[in-house]
Amino acid sequence: MMQPKISPELITSQCAKDLASLIHHLRVPSFLTVLADVLNAQCNFDTILVVTYKKSFKPIILHPRDPAEQSPTLHAYINKAYILDPLFNAIQNQLTPGICRLVDIAPDSFEETEYYQSCYKQFDLVDEIDLTIQLDNDTTCAITLGRKSSLGSITRAELNRLKSIFPVIESLIHQFWLAQSQEYVQYEKSDGPMKQALKTFASGVLTQREQEILGLILQGHSSKSIADKLSISVGTVKVHRKNIHSRLNTSTQSEIFTLFLNHLNSLES
């Protein structure tokens, strides 16, 4: 199998030094901190999160490890909200490893979801760049770079620089995981209630089809997107949406989101 080629004109002498430093830290805990510095030299960002996803288990935070750097919103994401996250769902649907932007994998109405409002808009995040590396058959490492309005969307030059060094980063992440994974997997938690959360939400109140549509609504799919995915008409989806609100006694997606979080809490108690 041919290895991806790295464009020599995009690898500067400073970049080579940064990568050498990263290799030097490969087997020590500071590896991911150095990785953040190396990536920031290629693409400016305001936030970075490195996690592993395994099946529908709760994600494991690899970086930042310092609790002082982990916000309540991050904890809410790790414990519950990740099952509505476009990246998590893209990985569940066999996302090809590499570099992508959130806008390229998110459902068409994602920005209208309560999840987006609380996890992105509230923190002024206007762009997200995701580097995904397949660690084994079940586990994916995701490096998420967030940019606020002061930085704006990623530029083509920055994206090209990331793509140029990605094969090296991918290889180093594999070696890092081989050397240090035991430090992290001890914290792996059962997917327990999460695996069935969307399937059991409003069970007994909604029909199976309405539950299916409700899950897609929570993820941020529009009526047209839902119709396309389920091979039904937009009109039929709208009827189902009306019935869902009627049966749940809700009128907004925000109210449905609150009910869903309450459902998760009940499963975990």
> Does the structure show a pLDDT above 50 at 3?
no
**pLDDT 10s digits, 11-69:** 578 888 888 999 999 888 899 999 999 999 999 999 999 999 998 788 999 999 887 78
**pLDDT 10s digits, 68-77:** 788 888 887 8
> Does the structure show a pLDDT above 90 at 258?
no
Q: Token pair 């990331």 is at which residue?
A: 162
What mean pLDDT comes out for the span 117-130? 89
Q: What share of the chain is helix, strand, coil (3-state, %, to 5)?
A: 55, 15, 30
pLDDT at 125: 92
**pLDDT 10s digits, 157-206:** 999 999 999 999 999 999 999 988 888 876 555 555 555 677 788 888 99
> Does the structure show a pLDDT above 90 at 147?
yes
258 vs 38: which has the higher pLDDT = 38
- In angstroms, the CA 126 to CA 108 distance is 16
- In angstroms, the CA 147 to CA 145 distance is 7
**Domain chopping of the chain, boundaries:** 8-185, 192-268
- In angstroms, the CA 229 to CA 197 distance is 20
Cis peptide before 4 (omega within 30 of 0): no
Name the pTM for this structure.
0.82
49 by Cβ neighbours in 10 Å (0-12 / 13-18 / 19+) ranks as buried
Q: What is residue 4's DSSP assignment? A: P
pLDDT at 58: 85
pLDDT at 8: 47
Question: Is CATH 3.40.50.2300 what the domain over 192-268 is classified as, yes or no?
Answer: yes
CATH homologous superfamily of 8-185 equals: Transcription factor LuxR-like, autoinducer-binding domain (3.30.450.80)
Rg (the chain; Cα; Å): 20
